[in-house]
Structure 1
C-alpha cells in the first residue's frame, strides 16, 4: 500500500507541476491606447463567386521595409479570433507581439453583415468601445494570441505584427474563408527562380495601386496545407538578372575571343621561329 500511495502522490505532484506550467504560459496582453485608424486600408472584400456575399476574410498587407505586416480582418458574427504571430514560424519578437490594435466593430445582433455596413465602419474616425480580452498562450506547441469578445461582433479588426526583414513571408492559415496577401508596390511573385507562393493561390490580381494581390480560399485548400509561404521580389529583378547573365556571357565571349586571338598570334610567331630555325640548319649544311 505504501508503494501505491507514493506512486499516486508522485502522479499528483507531477500533474500540479504540469498544470502550473500551462497556467504560467498564458498571459494577458494589455493595449495601452487605441491604434491609429489612418494607418490601415479597410477594404470591403467581396467574393465574386459567391453572389457578392461577405465572409470572414484575413488580408495581410506587406510593407516595403520587410519588417512589419499589417493585418486587416473582416469579421462576420465572430466572438473569438486566433492570431499566430510570425515568431510561431521562426520570426518576430516575443515582447510586444501585437501593435497598433484597431477595432471598428459592432455587436453582431445590432448590425447587418452587408457591404454598406462595412463601408460605414471604414469611414469612422474613432475606434469601437467594446470589451475584449487579449491573451497569449501556447497551443499545439505554438504561440497564439487569442482575441475574445463577450458577444459576437461584425466589422473590421486590424493590427500590426513584426516579421523577419526578408523578402519572404510565411504564416499559419488563419480561421477565415478568404486569405489575401497584398505585396508591396513594385514587388511580384510567381517566378520559380526568384520566388513563388506555396500553396498556389486560387487567384492573382493587380489592384488600383499596381500591387499584386494573392487570394486563397480556405475551403478549397487541403487539410495538410496549414502554412502559406510567399517569396517575392522586385519587378526588375528578372530583367537585371538577365542583363547580368548577358553581361557575364559577353565577358566570357570576350575572354575566349582574346584567348583565340592570342593563341593565333603565338602560333604565327612559332611558325616564323620554326622557319628561321630551318633556314639556319640549311645554311649550316651548305657550309
Structure 2
C-alpha cells in the first residue's frame, strides 16, 4: 500500500481533473482550410485565431497560457475536403499546465481552429517538424528596434491577398516565437515625436543660452558701474 500511494498521487497530479465540454464554434468564422503541416496564427490586436493542421489523430492537445481554459473559445474542425467534423473538446491540467483536448470518434486528418485572447505582444511555443505562420492585422507591421520585432527572425515575410503581412518560420522548434507589432503609421508618428522633442530641446537650450547671455551682460554693466563708483570715491 505504501508503494502504491506515491504512484497514485503522482498520477492524480499529472492528469488533473477533466472539466466540462467547451461549446463548439462555427468553422465559417475561421480562414479554413489551412495549410498542411502548418500552424497559422491570425492576430488582430485583442484576439488570436489559431488554425492547425492534423494528420491521422484521434486526440490532439494544445497547451494554454497562464490564463487557463478561460482563454479558449469557439473550437472548430474541418476535414481535408473542408467539411465540418464533429468532435468533443475538454480542458485538463497536466503537471500544473492547462491543456485543451480535441477528441474525434475516428482518426482525423484536416484542420482544427480556436480563438484566444491576446495583445500586441504575441508569444507562443513551437512543436517539432511543423512550420509556423503569423498573420498580422491589416495596416500593421513589425521589424523596428524601437517599436517591436519578431524573434527569432522569420525565414520569410510576405503579403497575402488581403494586404496583411505574413511572417513565416519553416521549422522553428525548439525556439519560442514572439512578435511585437505596431500600426504602419507608428514609425512616422514616432519620427514626428522625435522631431518635436528635438525642437523643444533646441528651444529650451536657446532660451537658456540667451537668458544666461543677457544676465552676463547685465552683470558686466553692474560690475563696470561699480568700478567707476569706487574710482570716483577714491578721488574724493
**Same topology, TM > 0.5:** yes
Q: How do residues 49-198 of structure 1 correspond to structure 2 at under 5 angstroms?
A: 55-64=36-45, 66=46, 68-85=47-64, 87=65, 90=66, 92-95=67-70, 97-105=71-79, 117=81, 121=82, 127-128=84-85, 130=86, 132-139=87-94, 141-163=96-118, 166-174=119-127, 177-198=130-151
The answer to whether residue 193 in structure 2 is matched with residue 244 in structure 1 is yes
Partner Cα separation in structure 2 for residue 93 and residue 146 of structure 1: 13
Residues 94, 208 of structure 1: alpha-carbon distance in 2 compared, 3 angstrom cutoff = same
Deviation at 1:139, TM superposition (A): 4.1
Contact 1:57 1:75 in 2 (8 A): no
Task: Specify every segment of 5 or more residues in structure 2 that has no aligned partner in the other structure, as ranges.
Answer: none
The answer to whether residue 32 in structure 2 is matched with residue 42 in structure 1 is yes
Give me the TM-score of the superposition, normalised by structure 1. 0.72
Deviation at 1:27, TM superposition (A): 0.7
Contact 1:28 1:134 in 2 (8 A): no
Partner Cα separation in structure 2 for residue 147 and residue 176 of structure 1: 20
Task: Name the counterpart of 1:230.
Answer: 179
Counterpart of 1:143 in 2: which secondary structure?
strand
Partner Cα separation in structure 1 for residue 95 and residue 165 of structure 2: 33
Task: Specify every segment of 5 or more residues in structure 1 that has no aligned partner in the other structure, as ranges.
Answer: 1-8, 46-54, 106-112
Counterpart of 2:216 in 1: which secondary structure?
helix
Counterpart of 1:94 in 2: which secondary structure?
helix
Deviation at 1:257, TM superposition (A): 0.9
Give me the TM-score of the superposition, normalised by structure 2. 0.85
Task: Name the counterpart of 1:256.
Answer: 205
Partner Cα separation in structure 1 for residue 229 and residue 19 of structure 2: 101
Over aligned residues, Cα RMSD in angstroms?
2.5
Deviation at 1:73, TM superposition (A): 2.3
Contact 1:93 1:162 in 2 (8 A): no
Deviation at 1:59, TM superposition (A): 0.8
Which string of whole-angstrom CA distances, capped at 9 and with x for unpartnered residues, describes residues 194-215 of structure 1?
Answer: 2222222111112232221111
Higher helix share: 1
The number of equivalent residue pairs is 236
